[in-house]
């Protein structure tokens, strides 16, 4: 099977997609990513803005209407969910194979 070109996702992209299973604006994404990663991934504003722009281009996320006129709100797309799922499967396999061969 041919692997999706976008795989593997980077750690930050993975957590952003995971955070956007529910609608969120930029700063909320940062907070969620930090929380989801157990404080491991702390993104700065400029880096997050670039990442959002890139994910929009890839159509992994989309802007959704909101009441906040100053902050754009985003949500994961079906394509985004698909890639998230594929990456999960990829990591599952890595964990399985590692546990089988490395940890005895």
Partner 1 sequence: MRRFKHFLDFEKEANWLKQMAANGYELTGKSWGYRFMKTKPENVNIKIDYRTFKKQADFVDYCTLFEDCGWKHIAGTKNSGAQYFKKIREYASEDIFSDVDSKAGRYKRLSNMYISIAMCYLPIFAALIMTNAIDAGALLNPKELYFTPGLWEKAGFEFWQAFLFETPFALIRGATWAALPIMIILFLTFGRRAEQQYKKLIR
Q: Which residues sit at the interface with partner 1, rule CB under 8 A?
A: 12, 25-27, 30, 42-51, 69-72
Strands 24-25 and 73-76, bridge-based pairing: antiparallel
CB of 72 to partner 1, least distance (A): 5
- Residue in this structure with the two tokens 């698909």, named with its chain if needed: 82
CB of 10 to partner 1, least distance (A): 9
Which class for 26: exposed (0-12), middle (13-18), buried (19 or more C-beta within 10 A)?
middle
Write out the two tokens for 45.
């504003």
Q: Given the complex with partner 1, which of 69 and 101 has the nearer CB atom? A: 69
Q: Given the complex with partner 1, which of 41 and 81 has the nearer CB atom? A: 41
Q: Given the complex with partner 1, which of 18 and 43 has the nearer CB atom? A: 43
CB of 65 to partner 1, least distance (A): 12
Whether the Cβ atoms of residue 17 and residue 9 lie closer than 8 Å to each other: yes
């Amino acid at each position: 099977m041919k692997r999706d070109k976008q795989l593997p996702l980077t750690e930050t992209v993975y957590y952003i997609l995971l955070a956007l299973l529910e609608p969120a604006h930029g700063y909320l994404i940062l907070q969620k990513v930090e929380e989801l990663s157990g404080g491991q991934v702390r993104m700065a504003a400029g880096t997050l803005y670039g990442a959002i722009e890139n994910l929009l281009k890839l159509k992994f996320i989309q802007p959704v209407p909101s009441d906040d006129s100053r902050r754009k709100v985003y949500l994961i797309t079906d394509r985004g969910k698909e890639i998230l799922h594929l990456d999960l499967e990829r990591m599952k396999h890595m964990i399985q194979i590692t546990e089988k061969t490395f940890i005895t």
